[in-house]
């Protein structure tokens, strides 16, 4: 996938593996037809997502360019989130993950892989 070993950091805590969808092909596929679902998926450069073709609900966080969560929702199969001004990236995870991780509006997210740490959409 080109980003194996990348970890999701929530408010400074390492919580899960994260697949980084940073190409058109990765963003287009998203969580579709993945079994099991990845622990989380970070969509770089997206302000909204859809659940077309999905059979399970997902937790979704909308992030600003600093990696701060500006909104969360549950994405139902065939549902969608509307693009929102100020949103740079989107994080998806299996439903219930955000509660386990303590992720909420105002949380700051980052990705860490190898020796690099990335906050927000870059």
DSSP 37: P
* Predicted local confidence at residue 107, as pLDDT: 98
Nearest-angstrom CA–CA distance, 98 and 92? 9
Q: What is the pTM (predicted TM-score) of this model?
A: 0.85
Give the domain CATH number at 46.
2.60.120.1140
Q: How far is CA 112 from CA 28, 35, 65, 120, in A?
A: 23, 24, 16, 11
CA 1 from chain center: how many Å?
16
**Residue ranges, the chain, pLDDT below 70:** 1-4, 33, 114-122
Total number of domains constituting the chain: 1
Q: Is residue 80 part of a domain?
A: yes
pLDDT in tens, 43-63: 999 888 877 777 788 999 999
HSE-CB at 26 with a 13 A cutoff on CA atoms is 16
């Amino acid at each position: 996938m080109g980003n194996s070993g990348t970890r999701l950091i929530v408010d400074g805590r390492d919580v899960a593996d994260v697949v980084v969808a940073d190409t058109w092909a990765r963003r287009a596929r998203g969580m579709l037809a993945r079994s099991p679902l990845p622990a989380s998926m970070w969509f770089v450069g997206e302000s909204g997502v859809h659940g077309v073709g999905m059979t399970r609900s997902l937790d979704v966080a909308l992030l600003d360019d600093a990696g701060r969560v500006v909104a969360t929702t549950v994405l139902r199969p065939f549902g969608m989130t509307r693009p929102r001004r100020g949103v740079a990236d989107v994080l998806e995870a299996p439903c219930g993950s955000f509660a386990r991780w303590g992720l909420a509006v105002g949380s700051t997210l980052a990705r860490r892989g190898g020796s690099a740490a990335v906050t927000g959409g870059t």
